[in-house]
Amino acid sequence: MSQFDPPLRDDLAGLTPYGAPQLDVEVRLNVNENPFPPSAELARDIAASVERAVASLNRYPDRDFLRLREDLSEYLAGESGVRLAPEQIWAANGSNEVMDHVMAAFGGPGRCALTFPPTYSMYPQYSRESFTSLVEVPRDEDFRINLPAALAAIDEHRPTLVLVASPNNPSGTAVPIGELIELARAAADAGAVLVVDEAYAEFRHSGTPSALTLLADHPNVIVTRTMSKAFAMAGARVGYAAAAPSLIDALAIVRLPYHLSAITQAVASTALAHARELQQGLDVLRIERDRLVVALRERALQVPDSDANFALFGVFDDRHAIWRALLDRGVLIRETGPEGWLRVTVGTPEENARFVAALDEVLQP
C-alpha cells in the first residue's frame, strides 16, 4: 500500500494524544475516580432504564434533554441549596465536552482565555482546539490564586473567558468565595465569562459554599460540574453546567445535533434518582481524604489542604522514581503538577492503606 501523509493541522504536528496511563494494576489511584461501583440496585435500575430507551433507539434522542435538565436542577437544589430553572442547565458528554462548547461559543481566533496554573491540564488543549490564546497567571507557592495579579491580568488582556477550577486540580485547594466574587466582577467589567470548574465540588468541606450561589447576582458566571467524580459515573460520560439562560442558549448554538444519546440521558437520570445513596460513599471518601492528608503530613511531606478526592504531595528530588517504585508495588498514582509533586486519588479505606504502606516502603532510608 502506498504511504499517505495526512494533512494534519500545522499546530498539531508532533503532538501526542492527552491521557493518563491506563494500566491494569491492583490499586488505581491516578485519575480521581470514585472507587465505589454502582450498587446492585442502581445497576438494576440503570439496566431497566436502558432497556426502555432501547425500545425507541430508531429515533433521535430528545435534543434538548428536558427531563435530564429537570433532574439535574433538582439534584443541585438538594446539593447546594441553589434552585435553578431547567433553562439554566446544560449537559454534555463529560464536563470536557461542556468546556468544548464553552470555548467554541465564547473563545475563538483573536480572543483569549485566562487560567491560573498549576491547574487542570486540559485547559491548554481546550484553548488550542478553539484557537483561543491562553494567558496564564501563576498561582502563589501555596497554590492560592494571586488575586492582585489576576485582576491586573484581566484588565490588561481583556479575556473573553476566565477559567478557575475550584477545588483546583491538581492542588485540591478551593478558591474562597470572596475571591470568586472579585474575579466575577472583574470579568464582567472586561466583558468576560467566568467559568468555575466545580468537577470536585461535592467533596468540599462542609460550610464551603458552591459557586452556584454566585449565579443569582452574576449573570456572567458559568459553573461546570460532572457526574464522573462524586457521582461515581465516570464511565457514563455526563458533565453539566449551570448559568444564566442567555449563556446556556449560546452553548446550544455550537453543540453538534443530538450530542447526548438517549442511553446517556436515561443512565444519567436514573443515577440522579439514586443521589441520596451516594451520600454514604461521599462521607467515607471525605473522611478518608482528611486522613490521607494527615498521614502524608506525618511523613514530613508537604500537602496543600484538599477539598477534593485527591491530595497533592511532595516535594521529591526525583518524583518519577517514587511514582515508579509505587507502581512496582501495585499502586498507580499520577505524576502531575509542578516538578517534584505527585497526586494520589482517595480510594477505598483498603486501597488508601495499601498506598500508605507502599509509600512507607519506598520512603525508607
Ligand X SMILES: Cc1ncc(COP(=O)(O)O)c(C=O)c1O
Binding string, residues 31-60; x marks residues near ligand X by CB under 6 A: -x----------------------------
Task: Decide: is 102 part of the binding site for ligand X (CB under 6 A).
Answer: no
State the DSSP string of 149-203: HHHHHHHHH--SEEEEESS-TTT-PPPPHHHHHHHHHHHHHTT-EEEEE-TTGGG
Closer by beta carbon to ligand X, 46 or else 98: 98
- Give the one residue of 34, 80, 96, 270 binding ligand X; rule: CB under 6 A: 96
- Give the one residue of 35, 94, 172, 281 binding ligand X; rule: CB under 6 A: 94
Closer by beta carbon to ligand X, 223 or else 358: 223
Task: Decide: is 203 part of the binding site for ligand X (CB under 6 A).
Answer: no
Residue nearest to ligand X (CB): 94
Closer by beta carbon to ligand X, 190 or else 347: 347
Give min distance, CB of 241 to ligand X, in A: 11
d(CA 101, CA 333): 30
d(CA 283, CA 26): 24
Closer by beta carbon to ligand X, 94 or else 314: 94
Residue 130, phi then psi, degrees to nearest 5: -105, 10
Stretch that binds ligand X, among 94-102, 184-192, 213-221, 267-275 (CB under 6 A): 94-102
Task: Decide: is 120 part of the binding site for ligand X (CB under 6 A).
Answer: yes
d(CA 161, CA 103): 8
48 SS3 class: helix
| Site of grid cell 467515607 | 284
Task: Decide: 125 and 18 in contact? Cβ < 8 Å.
Answer: yes
Please state whether beta strands 331-332 and 342-345 pair in parallel, antiparallel, or not at all (unpaired): unpaired
d(CA 168, CA 143): 9
Closer by beta carbon to ligand X, 34 or else 190: 34
Closer by beta carbon to ligand X, 234 or else 263: 234
Q: Per DSSP, which regions of the chain are E strands?
A: 27-28, 89-92, 112-115, 133-136, 161-165, 193-197, 221-226, 239-242, 310-313, 331-332, 342-345
Stretch that binds ligand X, among 91-99, 136-144, 151-159, 288-296 (CB under 6 A): 91-99
Give min distance, CB of 196 to ligand X, in A: 10
Stretch that binds ligand X, among 80-88, 90-98, 262-270, 326-334 (CB under 6 A): 90-98
Give min distance, CB of 52 to ligand X, in A: 25
Give min distance, CB of 94 to ligand X, in A: 3
d(CA 7, CA 256): 24
Task: Decide: is 115 part of the binding site for ligand X (CB under 6 A).
Answer: no
Under rule CB under 6 A, which residues in 227-256 are in contact with ligand X? 228, 234, 239
Task: Decide: is 173 part of the binding site for ligand X (CB under 6 A).
Answer: no
d(CA 207, CA 185): 23
Radius of gyration of the chain (CA): 21
Task: Decide: is 226 part of the binding site for ligand X (CB under 6 A).
Answer: yes
Closest CA to 105 of 3, 187, 195: 195
Task: Decide: is 266 part of the binding site for ligand X (CB under 6 A).
Answer: no
Helix then strand count (H, E) for the chain reads 11, 11
Cα-to-chain-centroid distance, residue 251: 18
Binding string, residues 149-168; x marks residues near ligand X by CB under 6 A: ----------------x---
Closer by beta carbon to ligand X, 118 or else 159: 118
Task: Decide: is 309 part of the binding site for ligand X (CB under 6 A).
Answer: no
d(CA 225, CA 286): 18
- The H or E element containing residue 210 is none
Task: Decide: is 172 part of the binding site for ligand X (CB under 6 A).
Answer: no
Task: Decide: is 327 part of the binding site for ligand X (CB under 6 A).
Answer: no
Closer by beta carbon to ligand X, 38 or else 358: 38
Q: Which residues of the chain form contacts with ligand X (CB under 6 A)? A: 32, 94-96, 120, 165, 169, 197, 199, 226, 228, 234, 239
